[in-house]
Amino acid sequence: MSALVEVARPAPPGALLPQRVRRRRRTVAPYLYLAPGLVLLAVWVYRPLAQTAQLSFLSWNLLPTSPAVPVGWDNYARLFALPDFGASVLRTLGLIAGLLPFTLLVPVLVALAARRVSGRAARAYQALVFAPLLVAPVAGAAVWSWLLEPRAGLVNRALGTQANWLQEPGPAQLAIVVITGWHVLGFAVLIVSAGLTGINADYADAAAVDGATPGQTTRWVVLPLLSPTLGFLGLMTVLLAAQWSFPLVDTLTGGGPIDATTTVYYLLWDYAFGSFDAGLGAAAGMVFFAGFGVVALLLVGLTERLVVHDS
């Protein structure tokens, strides 16, 4: 028999709360934190969505005195039979393509240039770029309609053109794209500036010591690290371009001339509140909701694969 004894391990800690109680506490807490946000979402997003879905199966002319008649899938059948629908989707795609330079290219150039300005001048510069966003869209549209006036308007006089901007299809589309772009540019510059600020300055310093020129540093280091921001802005543009342009379209062109500026949002609004066909408007709303949902999922998946995240 040995005289050596093994030293015991430190004793285990004392009694714990029963496992079940601890687990329940851990599962309940997160939902309590989420509750206020969930309630707001339910009241302001999910309830209207459910009502729209319900409305899309009814025929109703918005008059409280007239009854809403169930018509099954009839509204959807009519929607796809009408030529407006496909045309408005194409026009919306055109609007998105026209806006992408204003939300991606120009903001990156402006934000990179703004980094060279410092102190009070930088602040004034940022304020100037951001100011259009603070102008109410309808007020901005009113001023633009004077500027675009065919005979005495400043735009025609400055450009030396004679275009009837808001009454010809091509110029009207261009005007809507440029004015919407002018309006959201400040927001995009702000987002890109924030993205640039979020990039650790060590990377640019390291690139400089490694021998990169400022141009190489921008191309090889800054832009790749900015990709999450640019992905976000691209997604916003695709999903929201038609919404951003809505107040301008409504004020300046009313969707015309000859439907040239009727985007998907303007179309569904026009169905419901122009033609008093609530069921058709609701059906269009449901289709666009589903369509944008699919597009959003695809884009999120795509950006997740393309962008790099700074760890």
Partner 1 sequence: MARIRIERVSRRFGGVTALEDLSLDIAHGEFLVLLGPSGCGKSTLLRTIAGLLAPDSGRILLDDSDVTDLPARDRGVAMVFQSYALYPHLSVARNIAFPLRARRTDRAERDARVAEVGAALGLSGLLDRRPRELSGGQRQRVALARALVRDPAAFLLDEPLSNLDARLRTSTRAELTELHRRLGSTFVHVTHDQVEAMTMATRIALLDGGRLEQVGAPHEVYDRPESAFVAGFLGAPPMNLLPARLAERDGALHAVADGVDIPVGLPVEQPEGSTAAEDSGRDVLLGVRPEQLSVRRDGAPGGGLRGRVRLLENLGGEEVAHCLVGGIRVAVRGTRPLGVAVDDPLALDCPSEFVHLFAPTSGRRLERRARDRIHVPI
On the CB side of 249, CA atoms within 13 Å amount to 27
304 lies in the binding site for partner 1 (CB under 8 A)? no
51 or 200: whose CB is closer to partner 1?
200
How far apart (Å, rounded) are the C-alpha atoms in residues 118 and 122?
A: 5
Say whether 59 sits in a helix, a strand or coil.
strand
CB of 238: closest distance to partner 1 in angstroms? 24
* Contact pick of 113, 138, 142, 206 for partner 1 (by CB under 8 A): 206
Say whether 62 sits in a helix, a strand or coil.
coil
CB of 123: closest distance to partner 1 in angstroms? 17
CB of 105: closest distance to partner 1 in angstroms? 21
Listed ranges 34-42, 119-127, 211-219, 292-300: which one lies at the site for partner 1 (CB under 8 A): 211-219
Q: Which of residues 185-204 bind partner 1 (CB under 8 A)?
A: 200, 202-203
* Dihedral pair phi/psi, residue 163, rounded to 5°: -65, 145
* Contact pick of 122, 135, 196, 212 for partner 1 (by CB under 8 A): 212
* Dihedral pair phi/psi, residue 261, rounded to 5°: -115, 20
* Contact pick of 1, 26, 209, 305 for partner 1 (by CB under 8 A): 209
Taken in order 243, 247, 250, 256, the sign of the CA dihedral is negative
The alpha helices in 43-168, defined as continuous H runs, are 47-55, 74-81, 84-100, 106-114, 120-134, 137-147, 154-159
* Contact pick of 99, 207, 230, 238 for partner 1 (by CB under 8 A): 207
| Helix-helix angle 169-197:106-114, to 10 degrees | 40
64 or 211: whose CB is closer to partner 1?
211
Say whether 246 sits in a helix, a strand or coil.
helix
* Contact pick of 35, 138, 210, 258 for partner 1 (by CB under 8 A): 210
* Contact pick of 224, 247, 254, 257 for partner 1 (by CB under 8 A): 224
Output the six-digit token pair for 122. Answer: 């930088």
Q: How many secondary structure helices (H) and strands (E) does the chain include? A: 14, 2
* Contact pick of 96, 225, 230, 278 for partner 1 (by CB under 8 A): 225
* Contact pick of 54, 66, 216, 275 for partner 1 (by CB under 8 A): 216
How far apart (Å, rounded) are the C-alpha atoms in residues 276 and 182?
A: 33
Q: For binding to partner 1 (CB under 8 A), which residues are involved? A: 200, 202-203, 205-213, 216, 220-221, 224-225, 227, 308-311
